Amino acid sequence: MNVIKGVLKEELKNSLRMKRGYESAIKKLPKGTIVFRLIREHKYYYLVSKKKGKLLYKYKGKLSNEEIRKYEMAKKQRAKYTKMLNQVKNQIKFLRKSLRGKESA
């Protein structure tokens, strides 16, 4: 039984390390997403993010296609990391419950 607990503890350490990695990767990405408004047939871009439950629009002006792609890739990366973070959080929760369980003699 000690071998199994040792493996679970090691897996918990790895999961916690992965969680920190995903959280730091998410923090490095630009917050929010790019939206545009069409005014007199010109596109003007804004960075939209949330702060304390409110939407904030930060004017970015006219952006090049490269900059727009950069924000779109960041949005996809953030979604990917958030999904993996949720999975690892569930795994941590499961491992902690398993390690807390009582041993049967």
The answer to the question of residue 46 being in a domain is yes
User: For residue 56, what are the contacts with CB-CB under 8 A and spacing of at least 6?
Assistant: 32, 48, 49, 50
For position 102, what pLDDT does the model report? 57
pTM of the model: 0.74
Query: CA-CA distance, 15 to 102, in Å (whole number)?
Result: 22
- For the chain, how many structural domains are there in total? 1
The answer to the question of residue 30 being in a domain is yes
Domain limits for position 69: 7-100
Residue 104 has pLDDT above 60, yes or no: no
Q: Say if CB 37 and CB 43 are below 8 A apart.
A: yes
pLDDT digits (tens, 9 = 90+) for 36-61: 888 888 888 999 988 888 999 999 88
